[in-house]
């Protein structure tokens, strides 16, 4: 009898899965100079996610799958097709609490997105310290382009983690080749090294401090095309980033967060390919941020969150100040109110940069959250220019247009000055969501509908 019970326990396991589909539909009508043809643009796409995890043999065996796809199905403007396998792996705990070996498609530890087809191993020296290693070939590019199995871009790396109740420390180094689009008809394969060192500690139960240093080599970005058929190429080499932060929780109703972030590209260059008219000006990615966020709860369920940020760029300084108000204990159970208001004060002589104007960002919403149902309605306002390459119009294609005439991409959620209606309902075995928007400035409508099913079981 005892032997039979032990055999059943050895086969204990569980399964957790999700399948969901969604559809995004958008329209944009623009007749301003530089808006491009046709007058009415439409786009409809469908997305899918398939995720599952199986644990067997008393959790020593794990099999995981994560697939995400997106297809254009209708409209005058087709989005790019994405059929990406993020995970299809199996791992086994060869030595209990000591050694795990795995193989397949997995997301490797790296400073950037790094899907790998290969093998990996986790060696646990004790309950706190783990050494991990992986090797193989890149599964798809950073720009989410699939790579054929005949194209081998090597990827390998190491990471060391130490975690305790009072502190954590981690160091990882990864090397991988990547394929970048450097022109409309030309790609380039670039080897790149990335490294991250991070740590955090809790000197006191109410006080936490931490930091991170990261380095990414050969990070390349291609922006465009604009509606003037210009593709802008911006390349940065050796992108360095450093972050220090601290948070203090002296009580349940007070929060104070301070962080300092510095980012710098060792080399930066830009050029316009096949462009007509004036060449656009891009901002350097270098900046240093000092941010202070606070929170105070004057009553149960109500929070005031003042915030300020000072950002120093090579050509100017930006001061952001504002805050948020969240109230979720109103006379009607489940009713809540949210509000956000931020002002960016741009200081410095940067008359050649269209984006260097003071900015206003605010949003308000009223919602209802009860027993798995969350619905909200409100408005969001973003007062900023997005030239030179984002949106239907820009100062590049329409030099005489005012700065605020450059709207953001008409097919991106939450991108412009909008009114919105959002809703999400989650039951034990299924969920459904809706996000509908109307642009206040132009005849643009967007709607995202999502439905999915969940499953879980244990034995």
pTM listed for this prediction: 0.82
Q: Which two tokens mark 296?
A: 């105070």
CB atoms within 10 A of CB 354: 22
H-only helix segments in 143-283 = none
Name every residue whose Cβ is closer than 8 Å to that of residue 373 and which is 6 or more positions away in sequence: 423, 424, 425
Which own/partner pairs from 28-33 qualify as long-range (CB within 8 Å, at least 24 positions apart)?
28/392, 28/410, 28/411, 28/442, 28/443, 28/444, 29/442, 29/443, 29/444, 30/392, 30/393, 30/410, 30/442, 32/392, 32/393, 32/398, 32/401, 32/405, 33/393, 33/397, 33/398, 33/401
Half-sphere exposure of 90 (CA within 13 A, CB side): 4
Q: Minimal CA–CA distance to 376: which of 387, 386, 364? A: 364
- Per 3-state DSSP, the chain is made up of helix, strand and coil in percentages (nearest 5) of 5, 65, 30
Q: How far is CA 271 from CA 181, 223, 264, 282, 314, in A?
A: 14, 11, 20, 9, 19
134-to-101, 109, 122, 195, 256 alpha-carbon distances in Å:
10, 9, 9, 14, 39
pLDDT in single tens digits along all 459 residues of the chain: 434 434 444 578 999 999 999 999 988 776 665 555 677 788 899 999 999 999 999 899 999 999 999 999 998 877 788 999 999 999 999 999 999 999 999 999 998 889 999 999 999 999 999 999 999 999 999 888 899 888 999 999 999 999 999 999 999 999 999 887 666 667 778 888 999 999 999 999 999 999 999 998 876 555 444 444 445 555 556 789 999 999 999 999 999 999 999 998 876 555 554 444 445 555 667 899 999 999 999 998 899 999 999 999 888 899 999 999 999 988 899 999 999 999 988 887 544 444 456 788 899 999 999 999 999 999 998 765 544 334 555 433 444 444 333 344 666 777 778 899 999 999 999 999 999 999 887 778 899 999 999 999 999
């Amino acid at each position: 009898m005892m032997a039979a019970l032990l055999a059943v326990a050895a086969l204990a396991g569980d399964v957790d899965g999700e399948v969901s589909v969604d559809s995004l539909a958008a329209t944009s009508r623009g007749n301003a100079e530089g808006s491009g043809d046709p007058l009415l643009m439409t786009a409809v796409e469908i997305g899918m996610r398939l995720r599952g995890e199986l644990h067997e043999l008393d959790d020593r065996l794990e099999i995981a799958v994560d697939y995400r796809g997106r297809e254009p199905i209708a409209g005058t403007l087709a989005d790019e097709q994405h059929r990406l396998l993020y995970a299809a792996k199996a791992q086994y705990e060869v030595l209990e609490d000591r050694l795990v070996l795995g193989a397949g498609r997995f997301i490797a530890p790296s400073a950037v997105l790094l899907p790998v087809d290969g093998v990996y191993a986790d060696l646990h020296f004790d309950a706190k310290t783990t050494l991990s290693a992986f090797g193989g070939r890149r599964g798809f590019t950073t720009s989410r382009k699939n790579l054929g199995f005949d194209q081998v871009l090597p990827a390998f790396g190491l990471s060391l983690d130490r975690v305790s109740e009072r502190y954590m420390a981690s160091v990882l180094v990864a090397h991988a080749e990547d394929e970048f689009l450097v022109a409309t008809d030309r790609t380039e394969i670039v080897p790149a090294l990335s490294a991250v060192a991070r740590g955090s500690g809790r000197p006191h139960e109410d006080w936490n401090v931490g930091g991170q240093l990261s380095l990414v080599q050969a990070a390349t970005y291609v922006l465009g095309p604009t509606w003037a058929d210009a593709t802008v190429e911006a390349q940065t080499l050796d992108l360095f980033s450093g972050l220090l932060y601290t948070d203090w929780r002296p009580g349940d109703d007070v929060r104070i967060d301070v962080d300092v972030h510095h980012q710098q590209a060792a080399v930066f260059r830009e050029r316009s390919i096949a462009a007509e008219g004036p060449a656009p000006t891009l901002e350097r990615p270098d900046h240093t941020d000092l941010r202070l966020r606070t929170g105070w709860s004057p009553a149960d369920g109500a929070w005031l969150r003042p915030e300020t940020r000072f950002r120093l760029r090579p050509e100017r300084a930006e001061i952001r100040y504002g805050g948020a108000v969240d109230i979720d204990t109103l006379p009607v159970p489940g009713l809540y109110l949210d509000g956000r208001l931020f002002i960016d004060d741009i200081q410095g002589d940067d008359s050649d940069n269209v984006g260097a104007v003071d900015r206003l960002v605010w949003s308000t919403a009223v919602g209802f959250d009860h027993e798995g149902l969350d619905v909200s309605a409100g408005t969001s306002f973003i007062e900023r220019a997005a030239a030179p390459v984002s949106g239907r119009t820009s100062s590049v294609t329409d030099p005489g247009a005012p700065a605020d005439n450059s709207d953001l991409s008409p097919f991106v959620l939450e991108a412009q000055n909008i009114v919105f209606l959002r809703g999400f309902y989650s039951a034990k075995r299924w969920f459904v969501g809706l996000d509908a928007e109307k642009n206040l400035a132009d005849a643009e409508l967007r709607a995202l509908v999502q439905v999915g099913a969940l499953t879980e079981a244990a034995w």
